[in-house]
Amino acid sequence: MRPLDGVVVVSLEQAVAVPYATRLLADLGARVIKVERPGTGDFARHYDSSCGDVSSYFAWTNVGKESVSLDINHSDGRDVLDRLVARADVLLCNLSPRVWARLGLDLPASLIVGELSGYGWDGPYADRKAFDALVQSETGLVSLTGEGDVVARAGISVADIAAGVQLHAAVLAALLQRGRTGSGVRLRLSLFEAMAEWMHQPMLYAAGTGAAAPRSGAHHPSIAPYGPVACADGAVHLAVQNDGQWQRLCGLIGLDAEERFATVASRVRHREELQKLLERAFCAMTAAELLAALDAVDVPAALTRSITELPTHPQLSTWVDVRIPGGSVRMLPPPVAGFEWAPGAVPDLGEHNDAVLRWLGYSDEELSSLRVRSVL
């Protein structure tokens, strides 16, 4: 038994945030029925063309789901949706608040409903479009990311991931609560609020100091040495966080106590001088030699690797082949061990129409009629 075996999740989802939440639920055993537009489906299917017939985003966030293509604006399509909702334990949605309200679904009292919006359901931004990079900008993340005068968005969809993880956790809590009370709950979350929650630390730092931490590229804005240091064949990322680690690093390179490097704050003030000193000390060492030397004196460090090296990382020993439309890809299992996990396929658009509608009680004749009327 997997933790969510028997739990039925119906999701009116697209893009990344809600699909990521439902992917996490599917990993735990939930039956996730993904409702997509006939003909086009979730627009994230075609963000890129790196994974068979679907994008890397879609392959990542839709493992183990069932796809039903359905015109929910057609009266017969609406009947199918109503039957799905009646059979569901969880209903998730990231349609716009206006479209979601227009549906006017009859929601059972025991149903757990999760609604994701861009900026929330009221306030001056309620009707604005919200995508990951826009939310990174609005919450201040872009202003903190980069180096010097150059700003940058984070290299992955952090706002979508933040919202997906928080929605996933909220659904699990709601299922636990329903098990005690028998009652469902209506959960509401926005991309903006999910990202704003992650921005607490830099926000508190700015409020307490009167200024945002400076953009410092791959280096930590308020700790040094904490970032990449060049060596003979690449770079090693240092993470010196306390006096003991600093003293051991000084012993490794033969650096005597100096006032300008005596505290974390003074090392940050003299970061450029310290960086040059370290790189002179390490310039003749390869990254592997430097990492071994740092490990030997217990100074935290890591290799600075390319994303192309991640599939061959020595710490990642377990990979699985996942079927996708047009082929298969190698993926990692969930990062938390302890539950059984067997990856389902990434579905073709409408691949499970017949199976799901028969489960809902539709006859073959009714299915044929729905197809003729382009409902599916």
User: Which residue in the list 42, 149, 160, 354 is annotated as catalytic?
Assistant: 160
Specify whether 89 is catalytic: no
96: confidence class by pLDDT, cuts 50, 70, 90: confident
**Which pLDDT belongs to residue 168?**
97
pLDDT tens column, 245-304: 999 999 999 988 788 999 999 999 999 999 999 999 999 999 999 999 999 999 999 999
> How much is the pLDDT for 117?
93
The residue with greater pLDDT, 101 or 135, is: 135
Residues 195-200: contacts with CB within 8 Å, 24+ apart?
A: 195/135, 195/136, 195/139, 195/141, 195/158, 195/159, 195/162, 195/163, 196/139, 197/162, 197/166, 198/141, 198/158, 198/162, 199/139, 199/140, 199/141
Q: Please, what is the average pLDDT of the chain?
A: 94
Q: What is the pLDDT of residue 99?
A: 81
Q: What pLDDT does 172 receive?
A: 98
Mean of the pLDDT values across residues 308-332? 94
Mean local confidence (pLDDT), 338-361 = 94
